[in-house]
Amino acid sequence: MNGIEKSPLDWVYEFASGPLVWIAIIGFLGGGIYKLVTMAQLAKQEKVIFPTMSAKHGAHSVLHWIIPFANRNTRMRPAFTIVSFSFHLCLLITPLFVMGHAVLWQQSRWAISWWSLPSGLVDFMTLVVVFACLFFAIRRLAAPEVRNVTDWTDYALVLLVASPFLTGFIARMQWLPSKVMLTLHIICGALWLLAIPFTRLSHMFWFVFTRAFMGSESGKVRSAKDW
């Protein structure tokens, strides 16, 4: 190798940016499919779920819960609603449209390209995610109704979600050695993807279905609105 011996950090970086990324992607996709299939099988065993589902009432319920302040519960907690909706929006959009990720996909063997967001906006959205995670952690400590059902795994998940954004921001700002932070960023992102299907983060897969069922039960069976 031109007489240059690789350091342990080089080996870790190569593993993280190569095999670990693929392990994370395969685990995320495979775990997500497994979750959806097993959820469908469980729903089939419960004889009332599929007959209760209504496209009309289910769609109404989903729309009322993904639009800020469209339902009574979100209007009762305006601060939490603003933080929560901002968090989820930035959490989904930032990793997809940050320039560094877009460049990596363009340089891959598939040469996939799409547009990226301005770096200043990405920085802002990254900080929104980090501070929202801090807000959620403090809320779990301060609010009795949440603290009573919280254990250490909830704080671990908050930290896990925040870690790819925090390490990526530090790497971009070059506050610490860039290769160390970039390696940590990749590892944290891979662990985050792997955790989604197998932890409470998996609600991203079944939120639409559970909300649609609740809306269908309320509207079709009870002739009421669940929002």
Q: How many angstroms separate the first and last alpha carbons of the chain? A: 64
pLDDT 10s digits, 177-208: 989 999 999 999 999 999 999 998 988 888 88
What is the distance of C-alpha 100 from the center of its chain? 19
Lowest mean pLDDT among 37-41, 122-126, 150-154: 37-41
Structure tokens that stand for 162 in this block: 């925040």
For residues 181, 183, 185, 188, the Cα torsion angle rounded to the nearest 10 degrees is: -130
pTM: 0.85
Which of 42-51, 97-106, 140-149 has maximum average pLDDT? 140-149
What CA–CA distance (Å, rounded) separates 217 from 57? 8
Cβ atoms of 92 and 66 within 8 Å: the answer is no
Among 87, 102, 227, 95, which Cα is nearest to 168's? 95
169 contacts: CB under 8 Å, gap ≥ 6: 123, 126, 127, 130
55 contacts: CB under 8 Å, gap ≥ 6: none
What CA–CA distance (Å, rounded) separates 95 from 116? 10
> Which pLDDT score is estimated for 3?
53
pLDDT 10s digits, 5-32: 788 888 998 999 889 989 999 999 999 9
Quick one: pLDDT band at residue 133, thresholds 50, 70, 90? very high
Quick one: pLDDT band at residue 116, thresholds 50, 70, 90? confident
**3/55: higher pLDDT:** 55
| Confidence check: pLDDT of 1 > 50 | no
What CA–CA distance (Å, rounded) separates 188 from 167? 8
State the burial class of residue 186 (Cβ atoms within 10 Å of its Cβ: 0-12, 13-18, 19+): buried
**63/133: higher pLDDT:** 133
DSSP three-state, residue 197: helix
> Which pLDDT score is estimated for 105?
62
Other residues' Cβ atoms within 10 Å of the Cβ of residue 5: 6
DSSP three-state, residue 112: coil
Averaged pLDDT for residues 138-149:
90
